[in-house]
């Protein structure tokens, strides 16, 4: 599928960490088009299998996460105000004025409101706290529609910016899922060097939980995690951020396999696919950390799409980086220079 | 009508789109656009030539592009009073072609502890339109272009509406309705510019018209939200149309205020006072124009005013429409 269209479709369903069903249903359907076998495990991970047909083939697991940030309802006030706490690493400063959908008995529109600044008493600082905000649903008998524990998610869907730049609320990590799906399409009918397991993992934002059980289940020899990394912007230009449109990053870290990482790098170089070096000194904060120690352990690598404004309602990426990540992955799965 | 008006862009100083739409819909004996850009619609009096001016402003709060950075990001300044705390991570459209853009936010992971807690100041923000370079951005956007919040109007909840620029497209929609007929007196409907930056449009319009009486139609603040004490609630959504006594810019004419209240009571229209004196309206410029003008304000309470999403009550809006209509039938006696 055209990447732009795929990114749009993938940002339509909601999947707040722990409540991923609507997005995992879509992924299951899309995996089924390409995989010999698709299963949903106890936590909700969707795992697809494509055999290489080779005897004693090694197992390669490729994962990306489907969950996204959101809010969980913690209480309600009269006149339709819902109290909440964020799920996942949220910058609460972005919340006032955000439009959300609350998944109660039916989806309800809401806007996040905070006390206006001119009503703050002297000495009250302007520091914003989630506990000072509420979702305004305008539903007067809100208790008939929403229960404590229901979730809400930002409304911002896919939006095209200039050229190859696009914006959405959940490119972290639907961008990785897009790479995974385009990869599945690209390897169709091709000779594979590995038995391939693709995994759309749940609950990454809560601590890599889905990837841990999926990794245990698959018990791969090699794993490649597809995630997003920080994109440079006018306000984040430090060395830990990467330019958009210059290719995905391939991460070097003591927690990742040098052998596997070097192989990805040499494929990218050989095929003249743009990429950027990313260095992490320890864990990578991604599913690669969980998968490499699952079951009997495996060699892991990490490929990331640079993303501006991560964990906001307006994450921005460049489509070329998604496509380049897909190419690297595809050449690798076909054998490349790697001696599996 | 209100939906279309709310979705149009008209940041103070660039009201063109709103003006064109209103000009296409307006019905009056004579319509002019003055040097400031105000629309003056005239309905000739059936019995007298005393002048009544009703004013609603076309402009909305937003942004003006002040700089294009080396990497093609757009620095901006807020036009009108916007709480800078609501800006980050919001969607905007830029320039006459409405290029989609977002107000950039540093990823929370990259923020130092004190950055995480401190509101981001406007000077540290920029709009990202996905330009590859300064050169590309310069082809798409010019310094001095305007940007507006990218929000769609809709109804939600139990008879509430949400959208941007409800302040004061609500007033514009009402004024268009009032202009559908002639009254006993000369009636001047003014769709003003630049209310949000100090009422320069209304000032000139009033000086040219020299009205005997003026009524300003507005969206007003409403802070009946979570964690505000009852005494801090300027207005409450659903409690009816607001009849302010005074605000920062004007003491409303008491005779007019009493007549408005009496009219509301007589017609059983729900109304409420404004419980603080915060905010200002075009009334500030109009009442002190020329040799002075008897002036009052009618307003629809709007939560989260001057933010990406305002919220108002359909019932309050209907009360506002009805009270203005009834009042226009009676006001002739006061001029």
Flag whether A297 is in a domain.
yes
pLDDT in the model for residue B112: 86
Flag whether A159 is in a domain.
no
The shortest CB-CB distance from B119 to any of A126, A163, A308 is to: A126
pLDDT in the model for residue A124: 58
Domain finish residue from A96, A127, A154 = A154
Task: Please report the residues numbered 33 through 72 in chain A whose beta carbons come closer than 8 angstroms to any beta carbon of chain B.
Answer: none
Q: Considering only CA atoms, which of B322, B307, B309 is closest in space to residue B271?
A: B322
All residues of chain B having their beta carbon less than 8 Å from the beta carbon of residue A116 are: 83, 221, 223, 225
Q: Per-residue pLDDT averaged across A27-46, rounded?
A: 96
For residues A340 and A191, the answer to whether their CB atoms sit within 8 Å is no
Domain span(s) for CATH 2.40.30.40 in chain B: 62-149
**CATH of residue A80:** 2.40.30.40
Q: For all residues of chain A together, what is the average pLDDT?
A: 93
CB contact under 8 A, B109 and A132: no
Q: Considering only CA atoms, which of B225, B266, B219, B268 is closest in space to residue B247?
A: B219
Pick the CATH number of B62-149 from 2.40.30.40, 2.40.50.100, 3.40.47.10, 3.40.50.720: 2.40.30.40
What is the rounded CA–CA span in Å between residue A293 and residue A284? 13
Kindly state the tokens that stand for B35. 């040097």
Task: Please report the residues numbered 248 through 277 in chain A whose beta carbons come closer than 8 angstroms to any beta carbon of chain B.
Answer: none
Is the predicted pLDDT of residue A34 greater than 90, yes or no? yes
> Is B231 at the interface with chain A, CB within 8 A?
no
What is the rounded CA–CA span in Å between residue B212 and residue A282? 76
> For residue range A170-229, what is the model confidence (pLDDT) as tens digits?
999 999 999 999 999 999 999 999 999 999 999 999 999 999 999 999 999 999 999 999
> Is B115 at the interface with chain A, CB within 8 A?
no
Q: Look at chain A and report how many structural domains it folds into.
A: 2
All residues of chain B having their beta carbon less than 8 Å from the beta carbon of residue A77 are: 226
Q: Which domain holds residue A107?
A: 71-154
B259-275 exposure pattern, b = at least 16 Cβ within 10 A, e = fewer:
bbeebbeeeebbbbebb
User: Residue A69: phi, psi to the nearest 5?
Assistant: -70, 160
CB contact under 8 A, A313 and B156: no
All residues of chain B having their beta carbon less than 8 Å from the beta carbon of residue A115 are: 223, 225-228
CB contact under 8 A, B83 and A117: yes
Residues A116 and A40 placed together within one structural domain of the fold = no
All residues of chain A having their beta carbon less than 8 Å from the beta carbon of residue B101 are: 161
In angstroms, the separation between the Cα of residue B124 and the nearest Cα of chain A is 8
Q: Kindly tell me the burial class for residue B139, based on how many C-beta atoms sit within 10 Å of its own C-beta (0-12, 13-18, 19 or more).
A: exposed
Residues A26 and A52 placed together within one structural domain of the fold = yes
Domain span(s) for CATH 3.40.630.10 in chain B: 2-60+164-334
Tell me B152's DSSP state: -
Q: Please give chain B's pLDDT, 335 residues, in tens.
A: 999 999 999 999 999 999 999 999 999 999 999 999 999 999 999 999 999 999 999 999 999 999 999 999 999 999 999 988 899 999 999 999 999 999 998 888 888 888 888 888 899 999 999 999 999 999 999 999 999 999 999 999 999 999 999 999 999 999 999 999 999 999 999 999 999 999 999 999 999 999 999 999 999 999 888 888 877 788 999 999 999 998 889 999 999 999 999 999 999 999 999 877 778 899 999 999 988 999 999 999 999 999 999 999 999 999 999 999 999 999 988 88
Flag whether A241 is in a domain.
yes
Flag whether A86 is in a domain.
yes
> Is B1 at the interface with chain A, CB within 8 A?
no
Is the predicted pLDDT of residue A49 greater than 80, yes or no? yes
For the domain made up of B2-60+164-334, the CATH class stated in words is alpha beta
For residues B12 and B59, the answer to whether their CB atoms sit within 8 Å is yes
For residues B146 and B14, the answer to whether their CB atoms sit within 8 Å is yes
E strands, chain B, in order: 30-33, 39-43, 51-57, 62-68, 74-79, 91-94, 99-103, 127-128, 146-149, 154-156, 160-163, 186-192, 213-222, 241-243, 271-273, 294-303, 310-313
Residues recorded for chain B: 335
What is the rounded CA–CA span in Å between residue B44 and residue A52? 85
Domain finish residue from A130, A154, A178 = A154
């Amino acid at each position: 599928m055209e990447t732009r269209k795929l990114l749009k479709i993938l940002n339509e369903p909601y999947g707040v960490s722990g409540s991923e069903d609507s997005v995992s249903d879509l992924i299951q359907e899309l995996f089924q088009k390409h995989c010999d076998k698709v299963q949903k495990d106890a936590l909700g991970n969707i795992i697809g299998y494509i055999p290489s047909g080779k005897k004693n083939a090694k197992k390669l697991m490729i994962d990306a996460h489907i969950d996204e940030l959101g809010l969980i309802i913690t209480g309600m006030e009269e006149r339709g105000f819902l109290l909440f706490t964020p799920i996942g690493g949220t910058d609460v400063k972005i919340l006032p004025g955000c439009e959300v959908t609350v998944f109660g008995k039916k989806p309800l529109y809401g806007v996040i409101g905070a006390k206006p600044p001119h009503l703050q008493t002297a000495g009250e600082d302007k520091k914003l706290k989630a506990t000072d905000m509420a979702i305004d649903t305008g539903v007067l008998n809100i208790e008939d529609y929403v229960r404590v524990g229901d979730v809400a998610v930002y409304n911002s869907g896919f939006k095209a910016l200039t050229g190859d730049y696009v914006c959405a609320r959940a490119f972290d990590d639907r961008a990785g899922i897009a790479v995974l799906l385009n990869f599945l399409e690209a390897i169709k009918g091709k000779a594979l060097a590995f038995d391939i397991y693709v995994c759309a993992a749940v609950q990454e934002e809560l601590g890599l939980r889905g990837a841990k059980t999926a990794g245990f289940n698959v018990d791969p020899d090699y794993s490649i995690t597809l995630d997003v990394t920080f994109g440079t912007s006018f306000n984040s230009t430090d060395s830990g951020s990467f330019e958009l449109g210059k290719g995905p990053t391939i991460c070097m870290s003591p927690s990742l396999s040098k052998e596997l990482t070097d192989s990805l790098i040499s494929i990218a170089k050989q095929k003249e696919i743009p990429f950027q070096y990313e260095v992490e000194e320890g864990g990578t904060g991604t599913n690669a950390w969980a998968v490499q120690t699952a079951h009997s352990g495996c060699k892991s690598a990490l490929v990331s799409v640079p993303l501006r404004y991560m964990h906001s309602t307006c994450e921005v990426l460049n489509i070329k980086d998604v496509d380049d990540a897909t190419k690297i992955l595809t050449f690798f799965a076909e054998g490349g220079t790697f001696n599996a | 009508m209100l939906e279309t008006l709310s979705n149009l862009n008209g940041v103070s100083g660039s009201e063109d789109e709103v003006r064109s739409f209103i000009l296409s819909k307006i019905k009056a004996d004579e319509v002019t656009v003055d040097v400031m850009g105000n629309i003056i619609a005239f309905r000739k009096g059936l019995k007298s030539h005393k002048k009544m001016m009703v004013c609603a402003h076309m402009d909305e709060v937003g942004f003006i592009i002040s700089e294009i950075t080396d990497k093609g990001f757009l620095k901006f300044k807020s036009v009108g009073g916007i709480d800078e705390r609501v800006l980050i991570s919001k969607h905007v459209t830029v320039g006459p072609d409405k290029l989609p853009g977002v107000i950039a936010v540093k990823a929370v992971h990259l923020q130092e502890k004190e950055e995480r807690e401190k509101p981001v100041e406007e000077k540290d923000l920029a709009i990202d339109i996905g330009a590859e370079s300064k050169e590309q951005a310069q082809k798409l956007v010019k310094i001095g272009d305007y940007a507006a919040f990218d929000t769609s109007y809709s109804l939600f909840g139990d008879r509430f509406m949400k959208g941007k620029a409800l302040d004061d497209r609500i007033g514009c929609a009402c004024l268009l309705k009032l202009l559908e007929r002639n009254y006993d007196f000369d009636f001047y409907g003014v769709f003003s510019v630049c209310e949000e930056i100090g009422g320069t449009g209304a000032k000139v319009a009033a000086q040219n018209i020299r009205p005997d009486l003026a009524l300003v139609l507005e969206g007003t603040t409403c802070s009946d939200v979570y964690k505000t004490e009852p005494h801090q609630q300027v207005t409450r959504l659903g409690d009816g149309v607001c009849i302010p006594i005074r605000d920062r810019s004007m003491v409303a004419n008491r005779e007019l205020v009493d007549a408005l209240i009496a009219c509301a009571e007589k017609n059983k229209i729900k109304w409420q006072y404004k419980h603080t004196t915060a905010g200002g309206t075009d009334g500030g410029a109009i009442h002190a124009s020329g040799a002075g003008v008897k002036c009052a304000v009618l307003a629809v309470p709007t939560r989260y005013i001057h933010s990406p999403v305002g919220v108002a009550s359909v019932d309050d809006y209907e009360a506002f429409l009805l009270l203005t209509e009834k009042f226009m039938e009676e006001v002739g006696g006061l001029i």
